[in-house]
Structure 1
Amino acid sequence: MFHSLRTPPFGRLLALLLVPFLVLTGCDSGGENGGGGEEEQVPTASFTSTVNGFEVTFDASGSTDPDGGTIQSYTWEFGDGTSGTGATVSHTYQAIGDYDVTLEVIDDEGQTASSSSTVTVNPDQIVVSDDITANTTWTADKTYILNGLIFVNPGVTLTIEPGTVIKGRSQNQITTNDGASALIIRRDGNIEAAGTADSPIIFTSTADDLEDPADLGPSDRGLWGGLIVLGNAPISEPGSPTVEGVPDSEGARFGGDDPADDSGTLQYISIRHGGFSISGVSGDEINGLTLGAVGSGTTIDHIEVFANLDDGIEWFGGTVHATHLAVAFCGDDSFDWDTGFRGTGQYWFTIQAPDAGGRGAELDGFDTVTNDNQDLFSDPVVVNATLLGSGTTSSLSDNAMRFRNGGAGEWYNSLIGSFPAGGLRIDTDDAAADNFNDGFLVLRNNVYFSFGGGSDIPSIVEGTQFDSAIAQANTFQDPGVSISRTADGGLDPRPTASGLPTPEAKANFDNAVPQGTSAPDLTPIEDVNYLGAFAPGQPLWTDGWTALSQTGFTAN
């Protein structure tokens, strides 16, 4: 008898039902999970650290799983040969040092991710990661590390003792997701930082070993951000703009209607090796010292900016008097004003490096000019400046001074020279030229010397329409200063030549501004019997507390 292989009725039905299931589950035309489904996403590992003496608390609660799952494990390598587990852990180190810490996380799908950061352990250092929200004093027995953008909030005073050192982290060291480290005083915030000649307050990079004067030099720029002070004094622009160098999202605004606004005190402060650009866009770097709408109630004297990547000191509006300023070896302009600055200055000194630098002074009137603000251009008064460029043989090509964008101002009793190109440019395609013709732009009783662009005033002034008037009001002669751009003790900016012009007295300054606008207050300006920033035969006011002095550029 022949027996055919026939499926019983129930078995046949079950087999038919299984066929499409087998076909569907056997098809693998999508991703690794099959069926065209979404690929599993790796988790994100992130952590913060809080240093308290030798004990460091690590917090990885910011780690996430984009799939919506959970982190199942946290494994730490503390950089000293030990490890630990847990989302939040505390670890005690046995010695001062920099430790490379690594976190590895695993999610509930078995996916892994890791993150690393360098943690500095030093009981004498305090890492500042949070904004200053209550009155705070930084003391000279500690070094303060800026871990990102640190704001001093409105209504709060930050006091910094003489001799205190503040260091800014570079971008790759910052653990707060900020793009740079900087100290920023908001409007209605206050900083009381009164150093002394014997105990200056130093802002510098974490890479700077202050015990080794030779570890960083004039070309070491852009290692951190800078110092920014924002106030409520008048500016030329409508509203309250955000300051350059800081993301708009941070709300770092400046400007108001109080010319006597008081942001505090800055005295005997050296700011070194800053100027980092958060955006990476040229021109968006942080100045060494930025003054946004800082009022005349603020005290600013004896400030040094050394080896900044961007401008040394820049004013955006405001009315403050700034005296005894030294700017050395910066990558862009030494002094820069804009946005309706109507303050005063005396004893300003700069020397530029041959490898990088801009103008000795870049002098802008506005950011934006309208019918409402056209008479509110920058128009300050500066006396006793010494501007030394990058040298007549430098490959750079900027002028000593440029007035543009409706800029104005008055300069008296100053020494200006050693620049590779010309001495002066007044832009003729905007209101800067009009300001000269109207008497708001004044250059008088200044001495020009040693320019790559020429050997008399007409040859160093760009544009013939200004030659005669500027030549009649100023002189071209060697003031007898000693210039060196190496750390050989050869820099001595005190004039030694005889026959220099007699200084013009404050009572004879024009101090001219458009009718109906406020002129600078000349009260703080002193009448002295010499030209330039330094008195002949007297000690340099930079001695002892500046990087120029401490690293051997000047002979103390």
Structure 2
Amino acid sequence: MKTSMRWTHTLWLFAALLMLFAACKDKTPDPAPVVTVATITSIDPATAPVGSTIAINGTNFNTSPGSNTVSIGGVTATIVSASATRLVVTVPTGAQTGAVAVTTGGQTVQSPTTFTLAPSPVKPTATLQGTIFQNRTLSKDTVYVLKGYVYVAADYTMTIAPGTVIKGGGPELDPLGKNAAGTLIVERRGKLIANGTAASPIVFTSNKAAGQRKPGDWGGIVLIGKSPTNRPGVTTYFGGIRGTAETYNEPEDNSGLLQYVRIEYAGTGQPLVADSKLAGLTLIGVGRGTVINNVQVTQSSADAFSWYGGTVDAKYLVANRTTRNEWATNWGYVGRVQFGVGLRDATVADPAGSNGIESQNYDPGENADGTPITRLNGLPQTAPVFANISTFAFSTAPTAISAASPGLGYYQSGVYLRRNTGFSLYNSLIYGYPEGVRLEGTTTGLAASLANGTIDLRGNVFANTLTSAAGSGTITSSVASAYLATPAFANQFVGTADVGTLALNGANFNAAAPNFVPQTGSTLLAGAVSNTKLTSGFFVTTTYRGAFGTDNWTTGWTNFNPQNTDYDR
């Protein structure tokens, strides 16, 4: 009986094993997951210029544009539309001939054929000349050429689209036959709206072919407003500009907007007019209703930026390889400027003297007896406030001032204050000039402004100079040096042997592609001072000295070497 039961259990166990084996044998394994891989079958068209649209045909693309990434020659393109079999994209700036790559669903595939970058078509040109008595809009699809003095008349506005190129013609193109180089002048009550973007700056440049451009090929840009100057109303304008200063007193006047604008190779002298060079950007009586931000002036044969009276403010200015002065103030200018950088070519200077900043208040021969200038239009004195400026001349020890040494010897001062100016400068870097500051004047004029705080220089760094301060007129060099070294002013002096403590960027003096952001550990990244003149809503509070902390605000919109840039396409 027990044996029978054991056999019965064994049979049941054997049967269970057979059933389990059969079940395992009959079970179908799960299928492997299917991975959907995109393919590129064709590019239509396979040859196209920058800015045009092309279609990438294939399979298994994501229908959401943002879920695909397309690169053309290694540069990411903007996707206009997407379907499972077609991606339409814009050929991006910087694209090169090469394969097209699509990344979607974590997979990247490349086109079996090569995309060829075609040259962009040459844009049509249009002429601007004479006086414009209408509202005018300039398009980026056309290249414009200024011939002679071009005036935007009172009560009219010139609007310029982002990416537009305007070329200044040479004296030979003057339609009046007076050999006046192309110059854009916006008259009082007129407006210039030049609102570029970082990606598409507006460019004013030479009409010469690439490779042949030089400083002074054309005149520059002039804005004239109704903000006060300290000139008599009958004062005629300089540089051959028509009209007189008059006696307007509207500090909030608005002459328009310049933002993300480049001005290249301007500053030519005009015929039959003494001392007639205009700056890259000349501002006469321009009011603070005007917006000026992110403007670069490259290789002006005169000043880069010049203010003649007015109240207009400005931020983020670049003076690149200027011949004369980088920033010049005159005629009672009382505006505010913050964040400006200047980089010089140490082999090029003006025989009249090249400075980083030059500020003055009246013309030669005036106030010869030391009597304070007569108050005009409520402005007795040029008294702007500048902050966070960096100006770089010589990268090595500068050459001494000498009229017998053309070129190199004409460099003067990082800051040149004279003729009863009331200039203030804070938290700035003056580097590589023979003189850090020159104070020129009389005991009843400029010296009085030093004593009462009208002139105020604090929190600044003077580095790699032969002398930190010099005096002229009745102000001695010892008085100038003592003023600048006043402990409460917190100015710093760094000799040529010690400039390593500033830890400047390794590309700081790279003429073609400079980078001015100091390295980590730079003494420039701390030490900024505060002052009541910096408490207005205009100024940004900084802890650093010079134009840069950790943000390179010149990135994207500037061009430090435009000699060979193709502006015709």
Fold similarity call, TM over 0.5:
yes
Q: CA deviation at 1:445?
A: 0.5
Q: Tell me the residue number matched to 2:75.
A: none
Identity of aligned residues (%): 28
Q: 1:425 aligns with which of 438, 444, 449?
A: 438
Q: Give the residue type in structure 2 aligned to 1:400.
A: G
Q: Is the contact between residue 162 and residue 196 of structure 2 (CA under 8 Å) also seen in structure 1?
A: yes
Matched, 1:503 2:528: yes
> Residue type matched to 1:353 in 2?
D
SS of the residue corresponding to residue 557 of structure 2 reads coil
User: Is 1:463 aligned with 2:481?
Assistant: no
Once residues 262 and 523 of structure 2 are traced to their aligned partners in structure 1, the CA distance between those partners, rounded to angstroms, is 35
**Aligned counterparts, 1:110-259, within 5 A:** 124-178=124-178, 179-209=180-210, 215=211, 220-239=214-233, 241-247=235-241, 250-251=242-243, 253=245, 256-259=248-251
SS at match of 1:131: strand
* 1:243-276 CA distance string (max 9 Å, x none): 32124xx226465110000001000110000111
2:172·2:181 contact (CA, 8 Å) conserved in 1?
no
List per-residue Cα deviations over 1:409-459 (Å, max 9, x = no partner).
21111111111x1111111337222211221000000111011x24x6689
1:476 to 470, 476, 493: 493
Hey, what's the Cα distance between the residues in 2 that align with 1:372 and 1:270? 36
TM-score normalised per structure 1: 0.68
* Residue 175 of structure 1: how far off its partner (Å): 2.7
Cα separation, 1, equivalents of 2:184 and 2:248:
21
Of 266-275 and 176-185, deviating more is 176-185
Deviation at 1:395, TM superposition (A): 3.2
| Amino acid in structure 1 at the alignment position of 2:375 | D
- 2:553 aligned to 535, 541, 544, which one? 541
Deviation at 1:481, TM superposition (A): 2.0
Q: Give CA deviations for 1:379-420 in whole Å, capped at 9, x if unaligned.
A: 11111100112451443331111111111121111111111x
Aligned mates of 1:469, 1:407 — CA distance in 2: 16
Could you say if the C-alpha distance between residues 549 and 347 of structure 1 is closer, same or farther in structure 2, counting changes exceeding 3 Å?
Answer: farther
Superposition pairs for residues 323-362 of structure 1, below 5 Å?
A: 323-357=315-349, 358-362=354-358
Give the drift of 1:346. 0.3
Instruction: Give the Cα–Cα distance (whole angstroms) in 1 for the partners of residues 294 and 206 of structure 2.
Output: 20
Aligned-partner residue type, residue 397 of structure 1:
Y
1:406 to 420, 434, 437: 420
Can you list the C-alpha shifts for 1:112-168, whole angstroms capped at 9, x where unaligned?
xxxxxxxxxx87100112321111100110011001100000010110000000001
Query: SS of 2:432's equivalent?
Result: strand
Secondary structure at 1:467 match in 2: helix
SS in 1 for 2:549: coil
Which whole-Å deviations, capped at 9, do the CAs of 1:74-111 have from their partners, x for residues lacking one?
xxxxxxxxxxxxxxxxxxxxxxxxxxxxxxxxxxxxxx
Q: CA deviation at 1:309?
A: 0.7
* Alpha-carbon distance between aligned partners in 1 of 2:142 and 2:291, rounded to the nearest angstrom: 25
The Cα RMSD (Å) is 2.7
Of the three residues 257, 264, 268, the one matched with 2:260 is 268
Could you tell me which residue of structure 2 aligns to residue 386 of structure 1? Answer: 390
Q: CA deviation at 1:523?
A: 2.1
- Structure-1 residue corresponding to 2:374: 371
TM-score in terms of structure 2 length: 0.67
3-state DSSP class of the match of 1:400?
strand
State the distance in 2 between where 1:270 and 1:372 align: 36
**Corresponding residue number in structure 2 for 1:111:** none
Contact 2:358–2:416 (CA under 8 A) maintained in structure 1: yes
Q: Could you tell me which amino acid in structure 2 is paired with residue 145 of structure 1? A: V
Deviations 1:212-254 (A, max 9, x none): xxx257xx2110100000000011112153332124xx22646
> Which residue, 285, 288, 291 being the options, matches 2:280?
288
SS class of match (2:482):
helix
Change (3 A) 1:499 1:459: farther
Q: Give the length in aligned residue pairs.
A: 406
* Residue 435 (structure 1) aligned to one of 429, 433, 449: 449
User: Alpha carbons of 1:134 and 1:435: their partners in 2 closer, same or farther (altered >3 Å)?
Assistant: same
Supply the distance in 2 between the matched residues of 1:180 and 1:529 (Cα, whole angstroms).
Answer: 44
SS in structure 1 of the partner of residue 457 of structure 2: strand
8 Å contact from structure 1 (residues 408, 435) kept in 2: yes
* Structure 2: runs of 5 or more not aligned: 1-121, 368-372, 400-407, 565-569
Give the CA deviation at 1:469: 2.9
- Is contact 1:309-1:331 (8 Å) kept? yes
SS in 2 for 1:528: coil
Q: Which runs of 5+ in 1 are unaligned?
A: 1-121, 210-214, 512-520
Give the counterpart letter for 1:545 in structure 2: W
2:463 corresponding residue in structure 1: 449
String of CA shifts for 1:33-83, please: whole Å, max 9, x gaps. xxxxxxxxxxxxxxxxxxxxxxxxxxxxxxxxxxxxxxxxxxxxxxxxxxx
In 1, the alpha carbon distance for the partners of 2:235 and 2:206 equals 28
Q: Cα 1:371–1:128, aligned 2, differ >3 Å: closer, same or farther?
A: closer
In the aligned structure 2, how far is the partner of 1:252 from the partner of 1:371?
19
Q: Distance in 2 between matches of 1:447 and 1:418?
A: 11
Q: Quick one: distance in 2 between partners of 1:264 and 1:339? A: 21
Which amino acid letter does the alignment assign opposite residue 310 of structure 1? A
Q: CA deviation at 1:283?
A: 3.0
- Per-residue deviation, 1:466: 2.6
Residue 515 of structure 2 is aligned to residue 492 of structure 1: yes
Aligned residues of 2:394 and 2:431 also touching (Cα < 8 A): no
User: Residues 423 and 154 from structure 1, CA distance in 2 versus in 1: closer, same or farther, beyond 3 angstroms?
Assistant: same
User: 2:173·2:181 contact (CA, 8 Å) conserved in 1?
Assistant: no
Deviation larger for 464-473 or 135-144: 464-473
Do the aligned partners of 1:544 and 1:550 also contact (CA within 8 Å) in 2? no
Q: Distance in 1 between matches of 2:253 and 2:164?
A: 26
- CA gap of 1:126–1:380, structure 2 versus 1, over 3 A, is same
1:462 is displaced (CA, Å) by: 6.7
Mean Cα deviation higher: 194-203 or 373-382 = 373-382
Which has the greater radius of gyration?
A: 2
Structure-1 separation of matches of 2:344 and 2:360: 20
SS in 2 for 1:266: strand
